[in-house]
Amino acid sequence: MSIRLRFAPSPTGRIHVGNVRTALMNWLFAMREGGQVLLRIDDTDLARSTAAFEQGIVDDLAWLGLTWSERANQSHRFDVYEQAAAKLKAAGLLYPCYETEDELDRKRKIAQATGKPPVYDRAALKLSEAERAKLEAEGRKPHWRFKLSGARKDWVDLVRGPQSIDTASLSDPVLIREDGAFLYTLPSVVDDIDFKISHIVRGEDHVTNSGVQIEIFEALGGDVPAFGHFPLLVGADGGALSKRIGSLGVGELADEGYEPMAVLSHLAKIGTSDPVEARASIEQLAEEFSFEKIGRAPARFDPEELKRVNASLLHQKAYAAVKARLVGLEADKGEDFWNAVRANISLLPEVRVWAHIVDGPIEPFVTDAAFAAAAADVLPKGPYDTTSWPAFTNAVKEKTGAKGKALFMPLRQALTGRDHGPEMGALFPLIGEERAHARLMGKTA
């Protein structure tokens, strides 16, 4: 069987971390199995869908390194959906309903008050032709519901194992609104049939929908794909994602300086039996991917853990891999500088802090002016290299008698204005003799 999956975002906004995790599950499985991914733009909502958001989705996926084999827009396929709807109507499986939203809400409340499930009572099926004509003459336009069989639909879920949905417990779903607009379900099933989608991988909030969709697949004569439903994201504390984190967009992550592979590594590993650690490539993630590794508990999205994963990636990056971006940040001070500071940053833009500390001007932090002045007296002549820092500290030790923290901390504070940071042996040659002397003398330099 040809392995074909799909990622189907709506261009009504940018994709966020939850969307990315869904996309990634599809891509990793497809890559592992030598399959393909369809990028399906679900833009049937013409009023809210925009070309700008669609381009944003394309740009975000490109930034993440997720490339697709085929692309389709639902807005180009309305005639195909009309044909499918006509087929269901002819089979008596798509029927018109005339209740208003208020009337439906009243029915639901009455059912609940009498201890019955709030399932649509199919009153519209009992209307005569004359009654339907009368309602339409009054200006009512029908919405169209799919008539469920009432049978139990079973499948073996790739993540959850054996699943069973009793369609008798569900309301017949609305597939077409009063204004003629298609809701998600029918176009999605039609597309999955036409594009020969073999596997549908998505969040567990769609489990119940799968029972409905299986019936529509069968009614249209299509092959039913395999389903995989994974747990949704929660916050680091196990609670619901905060609004800010839940809607955290790919563009925001890129702007903040996150590495694409850090985002992919984090989202691929949370909620699985694998350790949440950085991976070098999406191919490695795909090789390690398995539905069996996905736990049943919600996956915890922790921004601090994401930052830790990002830091571990940066710490391994060679200068050549970041040079162009350092230039863009106006923080390219050469390979020695990058090698000196990379272990002290979590996000690439933080490199600007250390570029400023090297170049100045900074306000030195001198806690003991006499000690600093004594250090300035034995400051070696430049230019400096990797041997200069130990030679300098030995000279200061001999002159002042200071050692250990009492020797190194005040020198670091005076030269960088900070209590901690990169190895001074690497920073010292970059700061240079002139700036080092000025800072030791308490001058801004």
Output the six-digit token pair for 333: 């001070």
The burial of 434, by beta-carbon neighbours within 10 Å (0-12 exposed, 13-18 middle, 19 or more buried), is given as exposed
Distance (Å, rounded) from C-alpha 21 to C-alpha 151? 33
Cβ atoms of 248 and 307 closer than 8 Å = no
Can you list the alpha helix ranges (DSSP code H) found in 165-241? 185-194, 207-219
Distance (Å, rounded) from C-alpha 260 to C-alpha 325? 14
Distance (Å, rounded) from C-alpha 299 to C-alpha 294? 9
The two beta strands, 4-7 and 36-41, are: parallel
The burial of 68, by beta-carbon neighbours within 10 Å (0-12 exposed, 13-18 middle, 19 or more buried), is given as buried
Half-sphere exposure of 163 (CA within 13 A, CB side): 21
Half-sphere exposure of 194 (CA within 13 A, CB side): 16
Cis peptide before 142 (omega within 30 of 0): no
pTM for this predicted structure: 0.91
Q: Bridge partners of 279? A: none
Distance (Å, rounded) from C-alpha 437 to C-alpha 445? 9
Distances from the Cα of 402 to the Cαs of 206, 267, 371, 375, 407, in angstroms?
A: 67, 49, 9, 11, 5
Q: Bridge partners of 94? A: 146
Cβ atoms of 115 and 128 closer than 8 Å = no
pLDDT averages per 10-residue partition of the chain, 445 residues: 94 92 97 97 95 96 97 98 98 96 91 88 95 94 97 97 96 96 97 98 95 98 98 85 72 93 97 96 98 95 95 97 96 96 97 96 94 96 95 97 96 96 96 97 95
The burial of 185, by beta-carbon neighbours within 10 Å (0-12 exposed, 13-18 middle, 19 or more buried), is given as middle
Distance (Å, rounded) from C-alpha 329 to C-alpha 352? 7
Q: What's the angle, vertex CA 146, arms to CA 7 and CA 112, rounded to 5?
A: 100
* Helix axis angle, 17-33 to 51-64, nearest 10°: 60
The class (CATH top level) of 369-440 is: mainly alpha
Distance (Å, rounded) from C-alpha 39 to C-alpha 46? 18
Cis peptide before 361 (omega within 30 of 0): yes
Distance (Å, rounded) from C-alpha 157 to C-alpha 201? 10
Amino acid at residue number 346: S
What pLDDT is attached to residue 235?
86
Distance (Å, rounded) from C-alpha 158 to C-alpha 381? 68
Distance (Å, rounded) from C-alpha 280 to C-alpha 312? 11
Distance (Å, rounded) from C-alpha 428 to C-alpha 385? 8
Amino acid at residue number 397: K
Distance (Å, rounded) from C-alpha 9 to C-alpha 54? 9
Q: What is the DSSP string of 75-90?
A: GG-HHHHHHHHHHHHH
Distance separating the N- and C-terminal Cα atoms of the chain: 68
The burial of 299, by beta-carbon neighbours within 10 Å (0-12 exposed, 13-18 middle, 19 or more buried), is given as buried
Residue spans of the domains in the chain: they are 319-359, 369-440
Can you list the alpha helix ranges (DSSP code H) found in 317-443? 319-328, 335-341, 351-359, 369-377, 388-400, 405-416, 424-440
Distance (Å, rounded) from C-alpha 388 to C-alpha 383? 9
Other C-beta atoms closer than 10 Å to the C-beta of 368 total 15
What pLDDT is attached to residue 116?
85
Q: What does the pLDDT look like over 141-188, one tens digit per residue? A: 999 999 999 999 999 999 999 999 999 999 999 999 999 999 999 999
